Structure 1
Amino acid sequence: MELPINPVAIPIAAVAALVIGAVWYNPKFGFGNVWMRESGMTEEKMKTGKMGVIFGLALVFAAILSVLLMQFTNHQWGAFGMIGGDPAAEGVLPSFQAFMDDYGNAFRTFKHGALHGGIFGVFGALPIIGTIALFERKSAKYIFVNSGYWIVTLIIMGGILCAWH
């Protein structure tokens, strides 16, 4: 039986978050100048910090987010949740296997995952970033640049996670 998770998709989706960020926050190609101005970041401040740690943790956080996002993009998780996890466990009814045979890969497309990733971004990332920004007295531009990044990123991550099975 095919599991609703492809462990290779998780690191690929996590790396995608960093690649999108490199373009999105780049001063030459994306919103880097707006982000720097609205966040109070300077060129001098950008040169400080341990970049290996920053990018390493960003990758770990993106991988954690990928695991969570997979729950939203792959409907098959619901079927696994109904039986409590392991489909080979004792007591799992044959109807579960019949259901998975009929619907095991239903809605497993990039487009469907992108839709759920976008919904997750709008209803998850936007309110979180917006709330933090309001209390930090950041501008609407700051909210839209950062939320926009996460919405686009979650769309791509969701597509990767859902389609790759």
Structure 2
Amino acid sequence: MDLVMNPLAVGLAAVAAFVVGGIWYSLLFAKPWQRAAGVSDEQLRTGMARIFIGSFLLAVVMAASLAAFIGAGGLAFGTVAGLAAGLTWVAAGLAITYLFERRPFALWAIDAGYHVVTFTAMGAIIGGMQA
């Protein structure tokens, strides 16, 4: 089995994750997420460079892993694979952790929702570009 990985698709998928995160955690769910996570305004103002750089690099890792999984499956497969990964691997994994940590359901819904949307978008981009 040959590994199919389009570096441009991986890069664009990582950028998409970053853009979705920016919209998700600022325009759509900033205050509800902040309350549920217990993060203060002061905390949000510190360490932003490290957070943004780290987040982007980790998005590249996620996109590369997803690209290796999708291969040359095409747009439809990539989209469904991204959705499945977001729902069953990431959202379910977060749910287990959040249950043990006794975190609020609202926090899980916001964080898991972000990952489901992000992985679906990444899967569509990768699937469409690697076909």
Query: Could you say which residue in structure 2 is the equivalent of 1:148?
Result: 113
Return the structure number with greater helix share. 2
Query: Could you say which residue in structure 2 is the equivalent of 1:59?
Result: 56
Could you tell me how far 1:136 is from its partner in structure 2?
1.9
Query: Could you say which residue in structure 2 is the equivalent of 1:5?
Result: 5
Could you tell me how far 1:21 is from its partner in structure 2?
0.5
Query: Could you say which residue in structure 2 is the equivalent of 1:47?
Result: 45
Could you tell me how far 1:70 is from its partner in structure 2?
1.2
Q: How far apart, in 1, do the equivalents of 2:100 and 2:46 lie?
A: 25
Conserved 8 A contact 2:82-2:119: yes
Could you tell me how far 1:61 is from its partner in structure 2?
0.6
Greater Rg over alpha carbons, structure = 1
Which SS does the other structure have where 2:6 is aligned? coil
Q: Runs of 4+ in structure 1 displaced over 4 angstroms?
A: none
1:136 aligns with 2:101: yes
Conserved 8 A contact 2:33-2:110: yes
Greater length-normalized contact order (CA 8 Å, ≥ 6 residues apart): 2
Instruction: Identify unmatched segments of 5+ residues in structure 1.
Output: 77-106
Q: How does 1:96-135 map to 2 (within 5 A)?
A: 107-109=73-75, 111-135=76-100
Instruction: Identify unmatched segments of 5+ residues in structure 2.
Output: none
Conserved 8 A contact 2:4-2:68: no
Q: How far apart, in 2, do the equivalents of 1:141 and 1:162 lie?
A: 31
Which SS does the other structure have where 1:53 is aligned? helix
Query: Could you say which residue in structure 1 is the equivalent of 2:65?
Result: 68
Q: How far apart, in 1, do the equivalents of 2:49 and 2:41 lie?
A: 18
State the AA in 1 paired with 2:89.
G
Conserved 8 A contact 2:5-2:67: yes
Could you tell me how far 1:73 is from its partner in structure 2?
2.0
Q: How far apart, in 1, do the equivalents of 2:97 and 2:69 lie?
A: 24
Could you tell me how far 1:121 is from its partner in structure 2?
0.7
Q: How far apart, in 1, do the equivalents of 2:11 and 2:118 lie?
A: 14
Could you tell me how far 1:33 is from its partner in structure 2?
1.2
- Identity among equivalent positions (%) equals 31
Q: How far apart, in 2, do the equivalents of 1:54 and 1:149 lie?
A: 17
Q: How far apart, in 2, do the equivalents of 1:145 and 1:129 lie?
A: 11
